[in-house]
A and B are shown apart, each in its own frame.
Chain A
């Protein structure tokens, strides 16, 4: 069965520092991978996704993620954190072969950005 593990429920960085949020997945079929961001009291917003092709995926707000099949990872990075990046981030993997579009979500990582 597919699963997602986000390492670290809370990550704290200083403004201007590198952001690295870790995501590892387990999938029995080639995965589709997603990162979502959730600002307080809002729904989730798609940051970026990997389906096929280029393994380095660029998203909104300067974020990018790299699909590494050998490491079963899809870590999210941003070179320089901004105060507005403080939010909760969710990694998700496609459920499998059912084609319902169903995603399996990680537990989430809260990013704190210190001035």
Chain B
């Protein structure tokens, strides 16, 4: 069964901490995405990557960075966590072309 695995389901971090959210896919997909989901705002794209070491900003990249050193792994980094980054974070992957995404289970991050 194909999978996108996010390293943590629930995470609590303190304001100012550097936070790493990890995502791994086993489908050899070229494209990987990070979204955040907030009530009433739907899914908002933070960053995406269409190849190793390639990245593009999404709609809300401020306060975030990403890393993709290997094809299967796409990391989201919160350089200095703030309370307004408390959210559900969803990772997804897809092959080239429009086949649709496979999503991970999500990480619910709380910044206190």
Chain A interface residues toward B at CB < 8 A: 9, 32, 34, 36, 41-46, 49, 51, 90, 94, 99-103, 105-108
User: In the complex, which of the residues B95, B97, B105 contacts A42, with contact meaning CB atoms closer than 8 Å?
Assistant: B105
Interface residues of chain B, those whose CB is within 8 Å of chain A, are 4, 9, 30-31, 33, 40-43, 45, 48, 50, 56, 90, 92, 94-106, 108
- In the complex, A105→B95 CA distance in Å? 18
Verify B105–A43 contact, CB threshold 8 A. Answer: yes
Closest to A4 in B: B42
User: In the complex, are the beta carbons of B42 and A101 less than 8 A apart?
Assistant: no
CB distance from A90 to the nearest CB of B (A): 7
Q: A49-B100, A51-B98, A101-B99 are in contact. Are A41 and B108 (CB under 8 A)?
A: yes
Q: How far is the CA of A41 from the CA of B89 in the complex (A)?
A: 11
Nearest first, the 9 A-B pairs at minimum CB distance are A43-B103, A32-B98, A101-B94, A107-B42, A105-B43, A44-B103, A101-B31, A94-B98, A43-B105
Are B106 and A42 in contact, with the CB atoms below 8 A?
A: yes
Does B42 lie within 8 Å of A100, measured CB to CB?
no
Nearest A residue to B31 by beta-carbon distance?
Answer: A101
Report the bound CA distance from A99 to B97 in whole Å: 5
